[in-house]
Structure 1
Amino acid sequence: MFTLPIDDDIKLALLGPEHAARLFELVLANRDHLSHFLAWPGLVQQQEDSRQYLCQMLGEYGEGHSLTCGVLLDNELVGMMDLRGLDARRVGVLGYWLAEAYQGRGIVTRAARGLIRYGFVQLELEKIELRCAVSNHRSQAVAERLGCELEGTLRRAELVNGHCFDHRVYGLMRNQWQSG
């Protein structure tokens, strides 16, 4: 199964249905935190929901549409990270979430750097985008640390729990990444 070592402490790994219980526990424990900017946490009601999600993500990986991995810190699942939209356009969209207790340690930035490297080198992407709510200052800071450029704002881009968010769209081109 796919594993991408990031450093001594962090790796990204494809998760299978056998990880559903831990993923469900993590989402359940962080539901309020995650629901601030994400619409899906409230839809995860039972372990079977996590199992179905993991099976769907494995299918999309097998079809070459996305790469969705668990973020493992010292082999413990602490979040998820993905590259989606892997198609003929050669543009991947980076997404992630991390359990609240693990934020502020640089985990997302380090893991994202590794996944970006994989996206440009192994998947031969031309561009990687990162989209986040205008009010999500932590994700904006991640984008900037990764060297992404702000490309614009999508107005009223997503409805999350009754709130309509504008999204900032950041982009990193392959030639920018190579020169960095």
Structure 2
Amino acid sequence: MMKFHLLTALITISLTSIHCFYGIARIGSTEWVDESFEITEERKKFKNATDFRNPPVYSKADIIAKWGEPSKSGTDKVCDYIAYRDGFEWTFIGAAIWIIPIPVLILPTGFDYVKIYFKDEKSVGLTKPHYDTTHAIGYGCGDNSCGFARGRTSDYRYRKQKPTVCLVEKKD
């Protein structure tokens, strides 16, 4: 009987350690960057560029003519941007046992935006909402490793991405 329990425990551990997490985590909004895109007739919807090496280039006027006035606009380092509100930004806090999530708290924490960036009046990329783990405490196994996680799993700079050409600081 003891051998059966030991075998069951070993099988359970090996099966659950493939891709699992035991603990509590916060899942929050991050930004997904796309530097080669095409806009569609439907507002805030994009498709992959047909020719990703030479994607179409848009001006602010092109996009505003097709989608209407943006929710906000501004300048971020060396790029200008226009942003269209894309619903609420949510924060999820929950426990996880193996691959089964157990929601504990779900809160709206602001608004998600689709941002289109411009440099020299030409589109250079966009960011759109994407959700990922931002904080965790527990034990997890991923593709290549297992281990304990405690605290922040990604920092703010990672979560708030920009197109590559917009990351360069202005030189005065």
> TM-score, structure 1 length as denominator?
0.22
> Based on CA coordinates, which of the two structures has the bigger radius of gyration?
2
Give 1 or 2: higher helix fraction: 1
Whose strand fraction is larger, Structure 1's or Structure 2's?
2
TM-score by length of 2: 0.23
